[in-house]
Amino acid sequence: MRTFAHFNARTVDEAVSILKRYGDRAQVIAGGTDLLGKMKDEILPGYPEAIVNLKSIAGLDFIREDSDGLKIGALTRLEDIAAHPAVRQRYPALAEAAGRAASPHLREMGTLGGNVCQDIRCWYYRHPHNRFPCLRKGGGRCYAMEGENRYHSIFGGTVQDGCYAVHPSDTAPALIALGGRLNTSKRTLGTEDLFDIKVNGTTVLDSDEIVIDFEIPRPSESSGSAFVKFALRKTIDFPIVNCAVLISTKDDRVTEAKICLNAVYVSPYRAVQAEECMLGQPINDTTADAAGQAAVSDAVPLEHNGYMVQIAKTMVKRAILGCSQASN
């Protein structure tokens, strides 16, 4: 790795001050499970001059629940979220998502903030030494459009009709389905509004802005949530497709449905047509299958990833049926 300045920030204000000083030439680090690999492989055209350590800031690692809902610090480890009794009981989609991310060792290092804000997965984008100067690096083309695209977007591209790389977070779709929001050093955002598709970035966060914590409203007693994931090596791999669902019912009929897929598009993909398909319906095999079909009705797979459409359809169906089991 190249030489860089390293700062152990003691407060949020100190971290923000350092980030302002360095601008785009600085990066924050918490668990480091994404950033350190990018730096070692030198995948980006620029290399950070400064790294600001957030784990030295006290008070950003916590899980608290009250009558309004759940609040989780951005530095809370994934393993702690997965094992927390209140999260497992009332927010099972998030507990399962945190427990299915990466390997046990990585979950003991990786944080919720880092998992949500991690960079895209694409072997062209992440090839060592910036061999492929693609659109997401400010280059002129998306190599996956005509190249190897078996794990890329099935819902089209972006960045001037290019970039088919997918967002890989497991916890992001769970937070979106659960109606979560986050507080940063500058503002409050709905989790769904955090994501952006831009050069060298996946979020709307400014270069001097950091995530502080996440808030999730308490689900109603008549609701259930679930998370499912398909990966080649199960937990240890990034998802080929994952899905989180929250469903509320009254008199055994769906009154609200939130369905979010990930690893199928450049940002977490809200399956609105599937949600509408479930309203007023009972939760059963037939309606779950119809919702799965609706979720992929707008799919436009590339040459090598058509198989992901069927997986996405199945993940939606299984997650919906899992909500029924969670609410019983």
pLDDT of 53: 97
* SS3 label, residue 147: coil
Q: Hey, which bits of the chain come out as E strands?
A: 5-8, 26-29, 50-53, 63-66, 69-73, 181-184, 188-190, 195-198, 201-203, 211-217, 223-230, 241-250, 253-262, 269-270
pLDDT-derived band at 4 (thresholds 50, 70, 90) equals very high
pLDDT of 119: 93
pLDDT-derived band at 324 (thresholds 50, 70, 90) equals confident
For the cut 90, the answer to whether the pLDDT of residue 325 exceeds it is no
Model confidence pLDDT, tens digit, residues 69-122: 999 999 999 999 999 999 999 999 999 999 999 888 999 999 999 999 999 999
pLDDT of 237: 86
Model confidence pLDDT, tens digit, residues 242-292: 999 999 999 999 999 999 999 999 999 999 999 999 999 999 999 999 999
| Angstrom distance (rounded) from CA 320 to CA 242 | 13
For the cut 90, the answer to whether the pLDDT of residue 216 exceeds it is yes
- With residue 97 as reference, give the H or E element that holds it: helix 92-100
Mean pLDDT for 6-11 is 98
For the cut 70, the answer to whether the pLDDT of residue 328 exceeds it is no
Query: What rounded mean pLDDT belongs to the chain?
Result: 94
For the cut 80, the answer to whether the pLDDT of residue 226 exceeds it is yes
For the cut 70, the answer to whether the pLDDT of residue 45 exceeds it is yes
- CA distances to 157, 164, 301, 305, 311 from 154, in Å: 9, 8, 4, 7, 11
Share of the chain above pLDDT 70, in %: 97
pLDDT of 87: 98
pLDDT of 184: 98
Report residue 214 CA to chain centroid gap.
Answer: 13
pLDDT of 326: 58
Model confidence pLDDT, tens digit, residues 145-185: 999 999 999 999 886 668 999 999 999 999 999 999 999 99
pLDDT of 251: 96
28, β-bridge pairs: 52
| Angstrom distance (rounded) from CA 89 to CA 79 | 16
User: What's the whole-model pTM score?
Assistant: 0.96
Model confidence pLDDT, tens digit, residues 190-214: 999 999 988 888 999 999 999 999 9
Mean pLDDT for 111-136 is 94
The side-by-side arrangement of strands in the sheet containing 223-230 is 223-230, 241-250, 253-262, 269-270
Q: Which two tokens stand for residue 208?
A: 């001097």
Sketch out the chain's domains with CATH numbers: 63-116+168-327 (3.30.390.50)
